[in-house]
Structure 1
Amino acid sequence: MSRTVITFGTFDVFHVGHLRMIERAATYGERLVVGVSADELNRRKKDRDPVFSEAERLAIVAALKPVDEVFLEESLELKRDYILKYGADVLVMGDDWAGRFDEFQDVCEVLYLPRTPAISTTALIEKIAQA
């Protein structure tokens, strides 16, 4: 029986931290499904527009070797629906979300993985803006 892993993120200004999270998430199953936050969801979460459009971010993530399927995540409130729709056995998120999705342990395993130290999209955007 193969295991499906699901993870979510904005994946804006794609960097090595994003890549490492996706690669590590893929090790927990045979199929990796990635939800990419819609532009509107990103505005609600982070109060700013993404640098790259949702179509561009979907294309980048879909091109990654470990990724089997991508979809547009329209709402944080629909996480359970996405988990069920894609038949996820494991939900993998960065540890900055630790505890936030424990409610889904009734439908799948929930893992919070450490983020890559000293790199964040926000820090990169701020650094670029100062250049």
Structure 2
Amino acid sequence: MKTVITFGTFDVLHVGHLRILERALALGDRLVVGVSTDELSAEKKQRTPIYPLHERMRLIKALRMVDDVFVEESLERKRDYILEHSAAVFVIGDDWAGKFDALRDLCEVVYLPRTPGISTTATIEKIRD
């Protein structure tokens, strides 16, 4: 069984999230997803998530393409997470292109294009307006 691993904040779930998860699963047989802690999300995105970690994890776990969910506490622990979940493929959005190339000694690293015109930040701004 070929395990694919990906990570994200997954705040204000939208079709872009669904598309990246569907495309990630298409690269293997099993999909495990690391959901960033509130603190890590705030550090990465310069804002606190709308929904707390336990709610974001519950939403992701409920998706039919997701086999398992775990807490991502640090960007620097990607290597540990890949080993812990025996992942053969690591998938991340192409806005991180090149950042995780050093992990290629453990698994295949795939940078997928984001869904054009869709982002959590844009969704939140639209709701605020």
> Which category of TM-score, normalised to the shorter sequence, fits these structures?
over 0.9
Match of 1:66 in 2: 65
> Structure 2 counterpart of 1:24, which letter?
R
Equivalent position amino acid for 1:101 in 2: F
Aligned AA (2:99): R
1:90 matched to which residue of 2? 89
Does residue 1:8 correspond to 2:7, yes or no? yes
Aligned to 2:121: 122
The alignment status of 1:17 with 2:25, answered yes or no, reads no
Q: Tell me, in whole angstroms, the C-alpha distance in 1 between the residues paired with 2:101 and 2:94.
A: 12
- Of all paired residues, the percent bearing the same amino acid is 64
User: What are the within-5 Å matches in structure 2 for residues 37-48 of structure 1?
Assistant: 37-48=36-47
Aligned residues: 129
Distance 1:46 1:119 in 2: 16
Q: Write the distance in 2 (CA, Å) between the matches of 1:104 and 1:16.
A: 28
Cα deviation, 1:39-70, whole Å, max 9, x if unaligned, reads: 01011111211001100000000000010000
Please name the residue that 2:111 is paired with. Answer: 112
SS in 1 for 2:39: helix
Give unpaired runs (5+ residues) of structure 2. none
Partner of 1:76: 75
Q: Secondary structure at the match of 2:102?
A: helix
TM-score, normalization: structure 2? 0.98
